[in-house]
Amino acid sequence: MSEELDAGTLRRMADLVHPTWTVTAATPVERGFCRVYRLAVEGNGESQECFLKAAPAETEAGVGADARILAVLDRHTSIPVPEVLGVVDDHPEVPSPFYLMTPMPGDELPYERVGWLPDEALETLARDVGVHLGELHRIDAVDSFGYVDRDPTGTLDGGRPSGAVAELTVRDGIDSWPAYLGRYVERELERHADSRFVELTPRIEAWFDERIGRLDGPFTPVLGRNDHGLHNLLVDPDSGSVTAMLDWAYTLAVPPSFDFAFAVYLFGGAFLSALPGVTDRRALVRDAMRTGYRATAPELAETVATGRSAYEALAMVRVMNDFDRLASRLPDGTENDVADGLRADAETVLENDGR
């Protein structure tokens, strides 16, 4: 986590949202790049907990958009998300943007734990993810492709976002999906050229250059979860049920199939399949997700199979790009095996026709 916030600063931040509350304790929570704290507060004779999420220093990190998306999901879907209690988009004296939200039930499991979930629990998790993606993709909120941001005209200074889709916008949206995807791939391959897998970069680039032109349309933009993984869920570790979906700051407007394929790859654990006792369970995850997806978005169910090879390959590239972060969490002595497994998977992708 970036630099910690002192107790006085946290009290001033909470006071901007709930002046009647007194912060009695604050515990930092390790959650990605942002500063997140569990706050114990008292007010009106009651004690309760909430969470404060603030952007790291000198960057917004999508925190304002995150809060608006949570409010939209809370109002328009049954996706389990925290309730946003108030947002401060800009303030001269305390770190901003930030927002307060309610706690949610469930456990946060490490990103890599997906490889060791029992089949039954993983199937339940995947079905729940499919249900929630179906609801997400049915929200009529975007009409171009790109990064989903908050409407800059709707600045808040402690109030709650309305949950209206009008509070969302697509930053510098692009009407053509192949054009947007080409730029996305280009950015990821620039990162890939700086990774330990650089020897594969030229061949992967040529593979995508040929495949993007082959993708079948028409392409309709929807809100895409994008940032999939156990680290952004709360779950019942015994049953696998999803109890909360957190961290929506990197939501993209993409075709449903793109979002679906990324989830299949990351929850299927293919990137860990070189480890002893871990298998590639994409088929199990894909089938369970489709079952859940059909329950909430039957009219979109047939579209999520298109482009699967290209989108799952792109998810693999992103794992390669972030491999150093993953490697620090792997069992001792397995880093090279997992890296070699990813190389072998990439070779398999490069040798097929990508259809």
Domain hosting 48: range is 7-101
- Into how many domains does the chain fold? 2
Same structural domain, 123 and 96: no
What's the pTM value of the predicted model, to 2 decimals?
0.95
Asked which of 58, 80, 101 is the last residue of a domain, the reply is 101
Per-residue model confidence (pLDDT) at position 352: 78
- Looking at 101, 121, 154, the residue that finishes a domain is 101
Q: Is 298's pLDDT higher than 70? A: yes
Specify if 313 maps to a domain. Answer: yes
In a domain, 329, yes or no: yes
Q: Check whether residue 200 and residue 269 sit in a common domain.
A: yes
Q: Is 222 exposed, middle or buried (0-12, 13-18, 19+ CB in 10 A)?
A: buried
Residue 61 and residue 17 share a domain = yes
- 35-43 β-sheet, strand order: 22-29, 35-43, 46-54, 98-101, 84-88
Residue where one domain finishes, among candidates 101, 131, 161: 101
Q: 78 and 193: one domain? A: no
Residue 106 belongs to a domain: no
Flag whether 1 is in a domain.
Answer: no
The CATH number assigned to the domain holding 32 equals 3.30.200.20
Of 205-209, 278-282, 296-300, 303-307, which range is least confident? 303-307
Q: Note the pLDDT tens digit of each residue in 142-158.
A: 999 999 999 999 999 99
Assess if residue 336 is contained within a domain. Answer: yes
Residues 107, 229: Cα–Cα separation, whole Å: 14
pLDDT > 70 in the chain, percent: 99
Q: Give yes or no: residues 163 and 262 share one domain.
A: yes
- Residue 61 belongs to a domain: yes
Which of 101-105, 111-115, 123-127 is least confident? 111-115
Q: Determine the pLDDT at residue 343.
A: 97
Clarify whether residues 180 and 278 are in a common domain.
yes
pLDDT tens figures, 270-292: 999 999 999 999 999 999 999 99
CB under 8 Å to 48, separation ≥6 — which residues? Answer: 40, 41, 42
CATH code, domain with 139? 3.90.1200.10
* Same domain, residue pair 54 and 86: yes
Q: Is 23 helix (H, G, I), strand (E, B) or coil?
A: strand
E strands present in the chain: 22-29, 35-43, 46-54, 84-88, 98-101, 145-150, 168-174, 222-224, 233-235, 242-245, 252-254
Task: Dump pLDDT digits (tens) for 157-184.
Answer: 999 999 999 999 999 999 999 999 999 9
Q: Do 117 and 97 share a domain, yes or no?
A: no
Mean pLDDT across the stretch 116-137?
97
Do 73 and 13 lie in one domain? The reply is yes
**Residue 31 confidence class, pLDDT cut points 50, 70, 90:** confident
- Would residue 126 be called left, alpha or beta, if left means φ above 0 and alpha means ψ between -120 and 50 degrees? alpha
What is the spatial order of strands in the sheet that 168-174 belongs to? 168-174, 145-150, 252-254, 222-224
Q: Quote the pLDDT of residue 179.
A: 96
Confidence of residue 353 (pLDDT cuts 50, 70, 90): low
Structure-block tokens of residue 252? 């993209």
Q: Has residue 2 been placed in a domain?
A: no
Helix axes 201-212, 177-192, angle to 10 degrees: 180
| Other beta carbons less than 10 A from residue 28's beta carbon | 13
Average pLDDT, the chain: 95
| Cα–Cα dist 309/165, whole Å | 32
How many other CB atoms are there within 10 angstroms of residue 340's CB atom? Answer: 11
Co-location of 166 and 271 in the same domain: yes
Residues 122 and 53 occupy one common structural domain = no
Query: What is the percent of the chain where pLDDT is above 90?
Result: 89
pLDDT digits (tens, 9 = 90+) for 57-96: 888 989 999 999 999 999 999 999 999 999 999 999 999 9
In-domain check, residue 201: yes
Contact 191, 322 (CB under 8 A): no
> What mean pLDDT do residues 25-47 have?
91
What pLDDT score was predicted for residue 355?
Answer: 43
Give the mean model confidence (pLDDT) for residues 187-195. Answer: 98
Q: Can you tell me the mean pLDDT for 108-122?
A: 94
46 pLDDT more than 80: yes
Same domain, residue pair 19 and 132: no
Q: What pLDDT score does 1 carry?
A: 45
For 211-234, write each residue's pLDDT tens digit.
998 998 889 999 999 999 999 999
